[in-house]
């Protein structure tokens, strides 16, 4: 694993917007004028902040109803989990699993993995660095699929608008759920995966 030089050994740094190789002391990329940092500023603190905000929003997202349905006089409110259970009971196992993965499994994996990244980086752990890098790229990839439930509620609520017969309205829970997705996306964006590898050497700022 050793032998591959790090950018800092050459006093260069990467522009994340245009991939230009900048001088280490540059504050702005000479080619695309974006700000350049050797490491994303305050990466750990900011990621913690977004992660904790996401966790807090996740509570009302699961407790509050996301959808309000009136069907021929009878009305009901659904939370995310009760929606999944309803699908499973009506026999649509495939859709139940799909929604369960997108709205429960993916956010929970994101919370766990980001928490793991933050703790291991703060302890400067050299454990499984390659695997942790892969894991981080994986959650970056799957993160935005959680938006699925928000978009489904939007579509269904826009469609089922038959006054007197049947209506579906979005409810407050979906706002919190959408915010969870945005927060975890921001957390993944502010985390700097290069910190994983900084454990090999002295402090890099």
Whose tokens are 């994303």? That residue is 40
**Contact set for other proteins, span 180-199 (CB under 8 A):** 182, 185, 189, 193-194, 196-197
Q: Where are the alpha helices (DSSP H) in 160-201?
A: 172-190, 194-198
Q: Residue 70 phi/psi, 5° resolution?
A: -115, 125
Interface residue with other proteins among 89, 159, 203, 205 (CB under 8 A) is 159
**Contact set for other proteins, span 60-119 (CB under 8 A):** 71, 87, 90, 92, 95, 98-99
Q: How big is the chain, counted in residues?
A: 205
**Cα–Cα–Cα angle for 26, 30, 36, nearest 5°?**
45
Residues 113-152: x/- map of binding to other proteins (CB under 8 A)? ----------------xx--xx-xx------xx-xx-xxx
Interface residue with other proteins among 10, 59, 119, 138 (CB under 8 A) is 10
Q: For the sheet with 74-78, list strands across it.
A: 74-78, 67-71, 166-170, 161-162
Contact call for residue 8 and other proteins (CB under 8 A) = yes
Compute how many residues bind other proteins; rule: CB under 8 A: 71
Q: How far is the CB of 87 from other proteins (least distance, A)?
A: 8
Residues 15-54: x/- map of binding to other proteins (CB under 8 A)? -xxxxxxx------xxxxxx--------------------
Give the range of 2-10, 48-56, 73-81, 111-119 binding other proteins by CB under 8 A.
2-10
b/e string for 150-188 if b means 16 or more Cβ within 10 A?
bebbeeebeeeeeeeeeebbbbebbbbbbbbbbbbbbbb
């Amino acid at each position: 694993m050793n032998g591959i030089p790090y950018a800092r050994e050459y006093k260069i740094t990467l522009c994340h917007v245009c991939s230009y190789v900048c001088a280490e002391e540059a504050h702005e990329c000479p080619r695309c004028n974006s700000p350049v940092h050797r490491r994303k500023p305050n990466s750990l603190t900011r990621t913690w902040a977004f992660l904790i905000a996401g966790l807090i929003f996740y509570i009302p997202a699961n407790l509050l109803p996301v959808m309000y349905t009136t069907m021929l006089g009878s009305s009901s409110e659904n939370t995310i989990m009760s929606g999944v259970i309803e699908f499973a009971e009506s026999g649509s196992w495939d859709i139940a699993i799909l929604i369960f993965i997108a709205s429960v499994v993916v956010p929970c994996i994101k919370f766990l993995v980001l928490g793991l990244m933050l703790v291991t980086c703060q302890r400067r752990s050299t454990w499984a660095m390659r695997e942790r890098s892969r894991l981080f790229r994986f959650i970056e990839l799957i993160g935005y699929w959680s938006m699925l439930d928000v978009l489904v509620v939007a579509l269904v609520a826009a469609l089922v608008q038959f006054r007197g017969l049947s209506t579906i309205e979005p409810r407050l829970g979906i706002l919190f759920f959408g915010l969870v997705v945005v927060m975890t996306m921001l957390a993944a964006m502010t985390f700097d995966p290069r910190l994983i590898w900084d454990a090999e050497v002295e402090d890099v700022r």
